[in-house]
Structure 1
Amino acid sequence: MKIKYSIIFLFVLVGVKIYAQDAKRPFILVKSSERPQILQKIKTQPWAQDIYNKLLKKTDSEVDLFYKNPESYVKQLPFNCDEAQKNQFPPFYKTDHIENGVHKNLDNATDEEWKPAELLIKNLQVALDCSMIYYVAQDEKYAYVASSILYSFIKSVQKAELSNWHSRGGWLFPYDGFREVRVIGYKLPLIYDFVYPYIQNGGKSLDIIKGDKVDFPFNEAQNVFRTYADITINYGHTGSNHSVLEAPSLVYNALAMDDKTEREKLLSYFLTENTKNQDALNVMAKNYKEKGDIWPETSQYLNHSTAILTKLMLVVNRYNPSLKLSQEYPNILHALPRLDYFVYPNNELVRWGDGHRKGKAPYEAIDHAYALAKMDGSIEIIDKMGPILNRVLENGNYKRSDMESVFLLNSEIEGNPNDFQLPITDRVYHAGIVMQRNPSSTNKPEDGLMCFVGGAHMVHGHAEGMNIELYGEGQVLGVDNGRGKYAKDIHENYSRIFAAHNTVIVNGSSQGEGGWSNLGINTVEVVSMEPQVGAKCVSPYHSFSQTTFEDNGGKKAEATQERTLALVRTSPTTGYYVDVFRSKSKLPNQFHDYLYHNIGDTLAFENRNMAFKSTPEKYNQNANAKWDRGTYRNPGWHFFEDVKTSKPYNEAVKAIFNVEQLQPGSIYMQMHIPGFENREYTQVKAPHTFEAPKPYDTLPTPTLVIRNRGAAWDNPFVVVYEPYNQTETPTISSVEKIEKGGVYKGLKILSNTATETLVQYVITQSKGSIFQDKELNIYFKGTFAVITLNEKEVLQNIYIGEGEKLIFKNEVINTKENKCIYKEFNQ
């Protein structure tokens, strides 16, 4: 139910000056009574002293400007003097963005459109900085600056009409209140809280209309805080990170209310009371069902959301310690370190949906979690967060950097720094992601191997199908396109739909349907994987996953898919990936396209008889199809350029992606593709990959598309990928497919490393299948296995990732209940 507290309490409070009834301000970020401890912290802790001195130096330059001409300084606020009434404060210029005559949110606002907001944000930050220094130094010259800026804001903002657009409306940002509360709304109550002792005791504020120092307008300030709280409670939408991002404005404005009853009621909308426009904490916490679950969006949102919730939990817990929020919602706090697990060896992030390449666990939020846990006596959280904090504080990956840290955080952290061990496999459950990594014994990022398969629907997710990324030689080579600016053609009609991903498009028609932005897809489900998350790997050289996906968006794909992705290390510096993608449709005349994007300069084929010809119209069927909100030009491959297609080609294919403009030197990704009937190959230049290493963040992305006429199930798409650098030669010399009765069963891969020659039989089947070959002397019932021989074909080791029984010559291996095993053989 929508509750308009701005209306209810307005009648109660008109004409009455009410001061805090139950607490002495300030108390939002720090209590008045804590000032001696804060002074001691600044005096004795170098990090706190450094923060305070830097803030003082930065702020004093603004304070000096203010006192040279106070009226001129305040008048730099974005007042719209043309609409001013005589002897009254003018309204502010509103911040708006218009595209093709339509008012839109401010994601793509121009610098000119954003200028009024920029001026407000800058001046309010000066006021906030002054107010914090006033708390520490008790020098009223800072309080006068802060209260004068706040005074002018309160007077002018009330001249605006609050938007009636409840999906995202605001006060000064009439079509983007969602942004207004995030950049403006939360600052006001903090300024008020810090300068309250000054204005309560008769401290004056500058009125630029009267040209005089005047009393502070308490009742009007209360109305402004009430209105910003109301924007959060009764505007916006639920079920996404919007509720989280608006929550700081709600909490701080609630705590700025001087009437305790009103304060508690507004605060309840953060803790327990949900509206149709705002989720409360008890609902948002349901996203963290299990310990280690993360906010169910993409990387730049998952930690941001959790970090915001953690800080607000600390603030509210400090206001009311009886809540013990770290014990009520511990899984929120357990989610904080998780982003450190989702990184490639070069420290770039695994990317899904609108996620970015750069990022790390929110160590400041971990600091907040530690402080909250210390308040509540939550031992498990203390024991988990303490060692992490000490590790990153010591290695320089985290540095406390603002005054809020001085106010909120502990000086001493318990727990010894620990060696942070990344697991061999991990999962992002809400994104359908299964990761595999194999760090090298050299400890060099360029020698590490890592890959993932995944796909699912979520807010800010992409309709990507069953997508993969591949890492090698210090770079993410097999890439997801990522994203640029929202609402642009390339974003909506390429980046976030199938063609921008390393997936399979069915009948040229794979698409999202329903859900957020009509991008709904099914979640990639795990059939088998080794090792399981949290389990010890059975082999130092192997891992794999088998996953499934239903491609049933729209009515023209109707496909079932299965993907086996394996990582095989052959030496401390070499290894390869095996990708087996099965796809079949219920529809007649089906065809399936396997897409693989790799950063680089060129894609070169060693086969000279493929007869590539220009086919510019091949992917253009939907290039001019309808595009509006929720309707896209699926599957997005009309963005492909320089399209060249081979003749129908049944032979094995060998190709290389050349990446030759990287500063460290050239690297390559070699592909071995066994031959199958009904195949044709197309090479294209896909759009540039966002956040790729320079210069590939602006260059086209070489991409291969393999089309299979008919079902690709018994004879799936099979590709072996091997990364290497300019000082190396690729180790794989041959790849031969293994078939039985015309059905693909696996590969024979010959590798020549620096120290040995390896012959490996890689068996990849659907779960529960049986492969038997008398000539090879192999019997295998199961999903995935690798048999490794030396150049004399003497057995070296056997790895079963998932299976029941394997026989090779005279060796018989039963896996029993574990279904996985690794065994080495004495020579």
Structure 2
Amino acid sequence: MQSRVSDVGWVKAAYEVIKSRVDPVAKKVEEEPDWLVSRLMMNWETHYMLPVTRESKWIGGEGRAPVPTPRFAGARDWKSIYVVPRKIEDWKPYNSWGDDVWLWNTEEDEGEWVHPSQTGRLIESVNFHIMTIAAEAAFLHWVTGEERYAKVALPVLWTYMEGFQYVLPPRIEDPESGSGRIIGTTSFEVIHEDILILISQCYDFIHSYLVESGKDPLVIQKGIKRMADRVVEGGLNEGNWNLFQAKIIAHGGLVLEPDEYYSDGRGREYYVGEVLHADRPGQLGLMQVVEQGYDRKTAIWPEAPGYGFETTASILGVANLLALEPGGRELLDHPQLERALLVQAELVHPNGLSIGLGDSTNIRINMNALEMLISAARKLGKREQEARLTSLLLNEIKTGRYDRSKQATLHAVTSYVGDLLDVAPLSKEPLRTFMAEPLNALMMHLDGSAPEHDLSAAMFGTAGGHAHANGLAIELYGAGQILAPDPGRGSSYWQRDQRHYYSRMAAHNTVIPNGHALYPPEGPGQLAMTLEAVEPESEKTGLTEHIGFAQARFRHLRPAADQRRTLGVVRIDGETGFYFDVFRSRVLDADQERCHDYLYHGQAQEVTVVDRKGDSLGFEPCELLGEQHGDLSGYDYFRAESSTEFDGDFRAIFPLRLPDGKSPTMAMWMLGEKDRRIFSMEAPQNRAIRKNLPRGLDKMPMPTVLVRQSGEAWSRPFVALYEPYFEERGAWIRSVRRCGTDGGHAAVLVSGEDAKVFLVESATPGKAFEIEGVTFEGTLGVVLIKKGQVEEVYLGHGKLLEMPGLKVSANGPQPVTAVLIRDQNGAWRCRSSGEVTWNAENALVHPAAFR
């Protein structure tokens, strides 16, 4: 390790960061030996042995141990108004006044004594932080041999574990709550016993010094075994819980003696075996997880990206730990792991952030997993795989999204390879279309001249782990940002905002029948969208680089309602493009039909809504939405509500003004319809974006437009266009005009500088109709006109598109997708998914339809 620190540049830099964190603490400890250990959250006065809980909160303790004992967690729900001061120097030593602890009240902006039940998971996080310092100090002692680091680590480890030997399993005064099934030895959930990872690391690095100091290693070992056993017993053998558990158990087991050393026969081999091969209600071995947990077709872990992306990293981290153990190499060599890592690229937008689906945050492709896979390839001698993966890592470094020298963790400096192979950095370009079947999410991409000019959209309906009851929702990217986001989870799983808003339809870009469609986000009551048509098909090459689309169906049960959404993506040139959204919705029992609400939430500071002439719609403050009016309770979270009755076309502009002077903006154009009221309001913050926007911008309310249409919205659909652009550059779209008079068909002419686009979507895809000189039978038709000439004609999943001088039709009974493209020399060519007949030699711009 010493040569690695001295010879490998990024390791040396990361090592120095770790050292810079520990050295000031070591200096304090030299001056005051109990400086760090006294900041542990312990029962310093009471020495409680038995934690007592009720309703997943700590309510007190019983018994008295001969030494202070670790405090049990305050509550399962992490939401709290209390924090510790920013600097550890300001943490109160021996923080205990009977049951209470001294913390900072963020609402009152002052410190106070508070009962632990009000502190969320703060007690755990404090002890985790201090044990992290202890583990890092133990590592520095192991590398340098300097005793000053050992004097930081040992008192923390010994004080915590000496007290822990007296801690009894908690008594739960409301056992019917089910919390007893998952409760840990110091936490309300066994997956939060991750302090055991740090305890194990600290013990491993400082073992020799501990023995030399006259401490009994069995005190530590028995504590590790107790914690690991409880994780196995109280765990779940599915989802990310199982993997969090495996990581905890593996770290604990690897620092133990062989099985025969212990009277119960449970040592190193036993716990390694549990991690790799267990098959019990609380734990499933990782070999079975890799074989059974991932979707076989897509290699996706069936949980929202904020959870699923971490899965592969967790497995690889454990596999690397166990590389020298029987069975560990086989796990490390499993081909599914590379597929599972690479597929993450299909669920991210061009700025590198994942979709906000469900309880997600917008996270990046897991670089820890990529580093671990590179490390595994080197251990296994798989040079081609290592080179392939290294090129992807180097691309992340090249783009500035990743810096190895900032990976200043014990895991990184001890597990990642030192020097990378000398290969060229290469990116993995996302597929044009990708259907993430386990998540019921469709991704669509159209490349621009740079990532900030790319178009990227997601369409999804509830399915998979950690999903939301989002209806048939979309998320849109443009101008370098996720401008129409899915907002992630609420302040915590146990708070009202999660249960009533974030996990329900009011938080999403969707349409809500009667303002009150309701179904559960998890379990057997989940509802999923059905993909009816898409081009290009998932993982296939597109017929044209300018157009793509998808159409999906969704059926609600309460009320019984039918919905169909068609989302087209159109690119004009390398920097310009837009989305075409047609949403049809109807309640199947017409007597029960009240209204349909189209919702759009923008990532912006404000929204301006104007009519076709650019005049304000004249909104007036109102209180017409909410549970008291028969809407979902999530409507109660909207603030600053104003509205107006308006049946004309309108435009809503959502600018996101960034500190660097750029203003990514989304313009929403919507065709008018009778019996409509337009609302403008503020929705709760986007919690998926977290720290991926400049400070403060991620916490601002989301300006939101709601369009309420009385009666059905099937023959009178919501028709909208969305153009992302930079405010300083200006929008391309100058006008949007409805074509034809038949409201059953959605047809528009979009006009911009030197180009026009005609788009048509049909209420009856199997029936031909004529609209302003264009005959169409299909799902989506597009005509792209530049400088007065037809340049491209697109028949999406249909049988006919005809206009004067131009025709393309399917030869058989099945719908096809076809595109006619005029090249630079004026010659036409055709690409199609099936046999077609076409003629475009005399194509003209029809004066009626495209004037």
**Offset at 1:810?**
3.4
- Matches of 1:767 and 1:313, distance apart in 2: 54
2:212 counterpart residue number: 203
- Matches of 1:656 and 1:83, distance apart in 2: 61
- Matches of 2:329 and 2:707, distance apart in 1: 58
Structure 1 letter corresponding to 2:228: A
Are 1:576 and 2:578 matched, yes or no? yes
Q: What are the Cα deviations for residues 273-304 of structure 1, in whole angstroms up to 9, with x where unaligned?
A: 13323343245332312365333223322222
2:797 counterpart residue number: 802
**Offset at 1:457?**
3.0
Are 1:772 and 2:769 matched, yes or no? yes
1:223 counterpart residue number: 222
2:672 counterpart residue number: 675
Are 1:332 and 2:367 matched, yes or no? no
1:712 counterpart residue number: 713
Which runs of no fewer than 5 residues in structure 1 stay unpaired? 1-37, 98-102, 205-214, 624-632
Are 1:823 and 2:837 matched, yes or no? no
- Matches of 1:79 and 1:620, distance apart in 2: 45
Residue 746 to residue 375, structure 1, CA distance change in 2 (3 Å): same
Are 1:149 and 2:164 matched, yes or no? no
What percent identity do the matched residue pairs reach?
A: 22
Give 3-state SS (helix, strand or coil) of 2:768's partner.
Answer: strand
Asked if structure 2 preserves the Cα contact closer than 8 Å seen for 1:499 and 1:636, the reply is yes
Q: Which structure 2 residues correspond to residues 81-92 of structure 1 after superposition, within 5 A?
A: 81-84=44-47, 89-92=66-69
- Matches of 1:593 and 1:380, distance apart in 2: 53
Q: Which structure 2 residues correspond to residues 268-347 of structure 1 after superposition, within 5 A?
A: 268-285=273-290, 286-290=292-296, 292-320=298-326, 323-328=329-334, 330-347=335-352
**Offset at 1:234?**
1.0
Q: Which structure 2 residues correspond to residues 123-134 of structure 1 after superposition, within 5 A?
A: 123-134=130-141
2:478 counterpart residue number: 472
**Offset at 1:616?**
1.0
Give 3-state SS (helix, strand or coil) of 1:317's partner.
Answer: coil
Structure 1 letter corresponding to 2:669: H
- Matches of 1:774 and 1:430, distance apart in 2: 40
Q: What are the Cα deviations for residues 284-329 of structure 1, in whole angstroms up to 9, with x where unaligned?
A: 332312365333223322222221121001111233366421334x
Q: What are the Cα deviations for residues 41-87 of structure 1, in whole angstroms up to 9, with x where unaligned?
A: 23322222333344345434434443445466544544434335999
Are 1:423 and 2:434 matched, yes or no? no
- Matches of 2:678 and 2:26, distance apart in 1: 67
Asked if structure 2 preserves the Cα contact closer than 8 Å seen for 1:91 and 1:160, the reply is no
Give 3-state SS (helix, strand or coil) of 1:813's partner.
Answer: strand
Q: Which structure 2 residues correspond to residues 687-706 of structure 1 after superposition, within 5 A?
A: 687-690=684-687, 691=689, 697-706=698-707
Residue 787 to residue 187, structure 1, CA distance change in 2 (3 Å): same
Give 3-state SS (helix, strand or coil) of 1:493's partner.
Answer: helix
1:498 counterpart residue number: 505
1:786 counterpart residue number: 782
Q: Which structure 2 residues correspond to residues 419-818 of structure 1 after superposition, within 5 A?
A: 419-441=427-449, 443=450, 445=452, 447-486=453-492, 487-513=494-520, 515-516=522-523, 520-552=525-557, 555=558, 557-587=559-589, 588-590=591-593, 591-598=595-602, 599-606=604-611, 614-621=621-628, 634=632, 636-647=634-645, 649-650=646-647, 652-659=648-655, 661-663=657-659, 664=661, 668-690=665-687, 691=689, 697-728=698-729, 730-738=731-739, 742=742, 744-753=744-753, 756-758=754-756, 760-765=757-762, 768-773=765-770, 776=773, 778-790=774-786, 792=788, 794-814=789-809
- Matches of 1:654 and 1:775, distance apart in 2: 23
Residue 757 to residue 361, structure 1, CA distance change in 2 (3 Å): closer
1:207 counterpart residue number: none
Structure 1 letter corresponding to 2:544: S
Asked if structure 1 preserves the Cα contact closer than 8 Å seen for 2:350 and 2:480, the reply is yes
Residue 667 to residue 229, structure 1, CA distance change in 2 (3 Å): closer
Are 1:361 and 2:365 matched, yes or no? yes
Give 3-state SS (helix, strand or coil) of 1:716's partner.
Answer: strand
Residue 315 to residue 804, structure 1, CA distance change in 2 (3 Å): farther
Q: What are the Cα deviations for residues 121-148 of structure 1, in whole angstroms up to 9, with x where unaligned?
A: 3442233223323333345564565444
- Matches of 2:738 and 2:7, distance apart in 1: 69
Residue 815 to residue 108, structure 1, CA distance change in 2 (3 Å): farther
More divergent stretch after superposition (533-542 vs 498-507): 533-542
Asked if structure 2 preserves the Cα contact closer than 8 Å seen for 1:655 and 1:672, the reply is yes
Structure 2 letter corresponding to 1:390: L
- Matches of 1:376 and 1:748, distance apart in 2: 58
Q: Which structure 2 residues correspond to residues 335-414 of structure 1 after superposition, within 5 A?
A: 335-357=340-362, 359-378=363-382, 381-394=385-398, 396=400, 397-399=402-404, 400-414=407-421
- Matches of 1:298 and 1:746, distance apart in 2: 33
**Offset at 1:796?**
2.0
Asked if structure 2 preserves the Cα contact closer than 8 Å seen for 1:244 and 1:309, the reply is yes
1:187 counterpart residue number: 198
**Offset at 1:618?**
3.5
- Matches of 2:253 and 2:764, distance apart in 1: 56
Residue 612 to residue 377, structure 1, CA distance change in 2 (3 Å): same
Asked if structure 2 preserves the Cα contact closer than 8 Å seen for 1:326 and 1:333, the reply is no
**Offset at 1:667?**
5.6
Q: What are the Cα deviations for residues 343-367 of structure 1, in whole angstroms up to 9, with x where unaligned?
A: 434444321112223x322222211
Asked if structure 2 preserves the Cα contact closer than 8 Å seen for 1:391 and 1:417, the reply is yes
**Offset at 1:467?**
0.8
For these two proteins, the number of residue pairs brought into alignment is 744
**Offset at 1:252?**
1.4
Q: What are the Cα deviations for residues 146-204 of structure 1, in whole angstroms up to 9, with x where unaligned?
A: 4443222221112221225533322233x34432x12x1222222222333445xx511
More divergent stretch after superposition (384-393 vs 374-383): 374-383
More divergent stretch after superposition (363-372 vs 727-736): 727-736
- Matches of 1:150 and 1:136, distance apart in 2: 18
Asked if structure 2 preserves the Cα contact closer than 8 Å seen for 1:544 and 1:567, the reply is yes
Q: Which structure 2 residues correspond to residues 136-175 of structure 1 after superposition, within 5 A?
A: 136-139=143-146, 142-143=149-150, 145-163=152-170, 165-173=179-187, 175=188
Structure 2 letter corresponding to 1:293: A
Q: What are the Cα deviations for residues 616-661 of structure 1, in whole angstroms up to 9, with x where unaligned?
A: 13334279xxxxxxxxx835112223434433x54x4122224275
1:252 counterpart residue number: 251
More divergent stretch after superposition (690-699 vs 47-56): 690-699
Give 3-state SS (helix, strand or coil) of 1:108's partner.
Answer: coil
Give 3-state SS (helix, strand or coil) of 2:141's partner.
Answer: helix
Asked if structure 1 preserves the Cα contact closer than 8 Å seen for 2:480 and 2:664, the reply is no
Asked if structure 2 preserves the Cα contact closer than 8 Å seen for 1:502 and 1:596, the reply is yes
Asked if structure 1 preserves the Cα contact closer than 8 Å seen for 2:286 and 2:331, the reply is no
**Offset at 1:527?**
1.6
1:243 counterpart residue number: 242
Structure 1 letter corresponding to 2:212: G
TM-score with structure 2 setting the length: 0.79
1:94 counterpart residue number: 71
**Offset at 1:482?**
3.4
Structure 1 letter corresponding to 2:160: F
- Matches of 1:801 and 1:822, distance apart in 2: 8
